[in-house]
Chains A and B, each alone.
Chain A
Amino acid sequence: MDTNPEIIKEFLIDCYENLDRLDSELVALEQDPGNASRLASAFRTAHTIKGAAGFLAFGKLEKITHVGENLLSKMRDGKLVLNQDVTNGLLRMIDAVREIAEYVEAHGCEPSTDYGAVVTLLRTLDEETSAPPPAQAEATPAVDAPVAVAAPPTPVPAPVAVAQVAEVPPLDHLFVADPADAGRSDADSPNNKKQAVSDTALRVDVDLLDKLMTLVGELVLARNQILQLTSEQADSGLASATQRLNLVTSDLQEGVMKTRMQPIGNIWSKFPRVVRDVATQCGKQVRIEMEGKETDLDKTIIEAIKDPLTHIVRNAVDHGVEDPAIRTQRGKAAEGVLRLRAFHEGGQINIEIADDGAGIDPEKIRATAVRRGVITQEQAARMSDHEAIRLVFAPGFSTAETVTNISGRGVGMDVVKTNIEKIGGQVDIQSRVGEGTTLKIKIPLTLAIIPALIITSADGARYAIPQVNLLELVRLEAEAAASAIERIKGAQFYRLRGNLLPLVHLHRALELQSYQGEGDHAINIVVLKADNRQFGLVVDRINDTEEIVVKPLGKQLKGVSVFAGATIMGDGTVALILDVLGLAQRSSVLGESRTRNQADQALETAGADTAKQTLLLFRAGSHERLAIPLSQVARLEEFPAEMVERSGGLDVVQYRNDILPLVAMWGDRSDRTGTSRQAIVFDHKDAHVALVVDQIIDIVNETVVVQKKLARRGVLGSAVIQQKVTELVDVSEVLAAADRQMTGQAA
């Protein structure tokens, strides 16, 4: 039969939408099997598919949906109660229908596969629950009993009511009309709403939208050029016309971007079903909660994150949430919760997927990673817990002890990461053993037009750096530049607030020829982040930020990984867009110079005898002068006496929505009530710890010669700083001691 392909296409679009709706309706119904309006709506949806399939002579589709519809109609009429078996059967029907629809889309006809099994399954369900009346009768009292019992009493209170308000004659009319009315309005309202939507919305081909987007891109470029040209003219008429053009273009750009926006709920709507299926399969109970469904995203991005998100969700249910028995044992609710959250922040979309499961044990990860040869023993020891957990993104890594059917085949998280990075996004993972795991994804709002920083390289060419990679700009004047940049084995570093920032010279990374030599003029450093690491890009000049239209590079340039694309500047010249990750990899600043953990830095502090360091000097207890590398300090705080509370034998303060313990390591002289306390706050094991000190003396930047003669537990050695002997504190040891003190006092 040669049906118009257009009609089939329309049917398929409708069909997929209806199937998605049916999916979510069924899962919702499972929670609330008695919801009449939901049942009615599910029935209508199935009926629509059946009707359209019959009209287009898709016999198999019609047959399958027909038996499904029968089941649904029985449920709607109250002859059948929805249980898990029935839901499973209906979901299988949806899968079958989807399969057929996909086949029709690809081949234009129905597949030859016989879906007899599904039909029989549905029929059996139908007969099982309705055909043998005794079974039904047994079940019915249980269900109907309340109604049956409740029914007779109604007339009893009625007379009372009538007696009380005798002057309300249409009471019986009310009784009759009310439920029917309610039922009807309930059934009608979704219909009405749907009509309203279809009246004001229409389907537009995505290709057309893409084309519009390209055209708007061109318009933005032309606008930029005209803006630049008119800024050189004094004609006021031209200036105001240009201004109008400018505004209209911006509005148009925003409008066209909006047409491509879709709420993230569109892809999330599939997850309840995914979660349910996976949970049932592994015998778990998991509830899904969603927040920020209406957050809008560009369609291309939605497409790009669909699979990674699904993977993460499956993973979370399969590996994250524990079996109900284990959960109860651990004192958690048997039902696990998977929380999805999406929100806008700083021009980016944040998506968080959090489970309240077992969490990831960094030790286990380290062990597995070493066993698999992903990292060496030594590397494992140097890694912070967070870094260790991030290893799940390494290629060929899976921590699941048993490979299940659903996930854990060792591919996955690395693919998730690459896919998200491909669209300019970032993934991070946080986990606490026993409490759960949270995956945080940051992605740009759109890919087509992005804000970027324009810089100039030594040869005068301009390059654009996407704003998302930008952290800060540092300018070193000529005198400072010569001394502030340190060289270690040919690599250059700049000490940015106590941390070594590896430097990459743009002209060297790009192999440009002309350069005026180094050290004798000011240096501009663009601090960038790539893959959670930072590095500084030395450029010749920093121009401005600008909205740029990203254009892909031709196939001939695909191999050049340092460029992400090109754009056209206001003056009509082409500028290349730097791919920050590619640039970092090319200059090999990522692999070696990882952010080292505290113990490691302390070691270096002790070892690097002559390097210049920024130290915090303070006085505490019997120690007149103590020093700590500033890089290990999170903050300096002063807490007024009234903020200090007592808890578990410790002084604590409320600090950034957390309880911060105040540890007096060097003897507490501050029992003088009424005075404020100075404290050094450290980041320690994902939380903060504050060490109470008597006085902060100074922050110095000096070359320190460490004498280890006086080294002892908690003290790395001593040095002469500002002409006075100062003890260097071993921060990791002190924090460990603080731990002991806290647990000791709490016990």
Chain B
Amino acid sequence: MSNQCATFYVDGLHFGVEVLQVQEVIRYQQMTRVPLAPTVVEGLINLRGQIVTALDLRRRLGLPDRPDGHRPMNIVVRTEDGVISLLVDEIGDVVDVQPDEFEAVPETVRSEVAGLVTGVYKRKERLLLLLDVNRAVAVDGDRMLPGGSSSAGATSSTKSQVN
């Protein structure tokens, strides 16, 4: 029995999400930034009257920021905590994956990435990392996030104490 995965790219890595978890894919939207929010939270977008939090997957995975001028895409996913948009570099194809291609995450994958990935599909062309959506969106109010660059937030919060 085969499964379908919607795939996308983040900093050269090839990720996949189970296709049934994806609500839609939309182009970059204007968004409202949320001051004091964890750095992974890119902002809030108005998705046909619904307010959706957009998370930057690069920051979530502890990867370097997107180069300037490169607009991310939104993959809107349904999770246990409601609808969330994940910002990714580029959208790939929807692919069929076979259970026998599946394997646990190799040791060599960085820990920030490995923590959010259920496993890999060894496909002919390249490895496809299967993203655990619920874990990826589990970001609480704490600025000290595993995988997020937290230094900027921490310094600015001390600054406000001085005020």
* A interface list, Cβ under 8 A from B: 217-218, 221-222, 461, 490, 505, 508-512, 551, 553-560, 562-563, 566-568, 572-576, 586-587
Contact = CB atoms under 8 A, between A and B. Distances in A.
Given A553-B53, A572-B46, A510 B81 contact: no
Given A511-B157, A511-B160, A554-B82, A573 B53 contact: no
Nearest to A219: B49
Given A562-B35, A573-B32, A574-B45, 13 more contacts: A217-B49, A222-B49, A510-B36, A553-B53, A554-B81, A556-B137, A559-B142, A560-B34, A572-B46, A573-B30, A573-B46, A576-B32, A586-B160
A556 B140 contact: yes
A556 B81 CA distance: 9
B151 interface: no
B26 interface: no
B85 to A, nearest CB: 10
Contacts of A553: 44, 51, 53
Contacts of B159: 511
B31 A556 contact: no
A677 to B, nearest CB: 50
B36 A511 contact: yes
B60 to A, nearest CB: 10
B78 to A, nearest CB: 13
Contacts of A559: 38, 140-142
B34 A575 contact: no
Given A509-B160, A574-B51, A557 B41 contact: yes
B138 to A, nearest CB: 8
B139 interface: yes
Contacts of A557: 34, 37, 41, 53, 141
Contacts of A509: 160, 163
Interface of B: 30-38, 40-41, 43-46, 49-53, 55, 81-82, 84, 137-142, 156-157, 159-160, 162-163
28 contacts: A461-B33, A490-B163, A505-B163, A508-B160, A509-B163, A511-B35, A511-B160, A551-B51, A553-B53, A554-B52, A554-B53, A554-B81, A554-B84, A555-B81, A555-B139, A556-B137, A556-B140, A556-B141, A558-B140, A559-B38, A562-B36, A566-B44, A566-B51, A574-B45, A574-B51, A575-B32, A576-B34, A586-B160
Given A222-B49, A554-B84, A574 B140 contact: no
Contact of B156 (A511, A555, A563, A574): A511
A14 to B, nearest CB: 36
A510 B35 contact: yes
A221 B49 CA distance: 7
A644 B44 CA distance: 64
Contacts of B41: 556-557
Contacts, number: 91
A-B pairs, 6 with minimum CB distance: A559-B141, A510-B35, A554-B53, A574-B32, A218-B49, A574-B44
Contacts of A572: 46
A556 B32 contact: no
A574 B35 contact: no
Contacts of B37: 556-557, 560
A508 B163 contact: yes
A312 to B, nearest CB: 32
B35 to A, nearest CB: 4
Contacts of B162: 490
Contacts of A222: 49
Contacts of B138: 555
Contacts of B142: 559
A24 B159 CA distance: 59
Contacts of B141: 556-560
B42 to A, nearest CB: 11
Given A508-B163, A511-B160, A556-B41, A574 B31 contact: yes
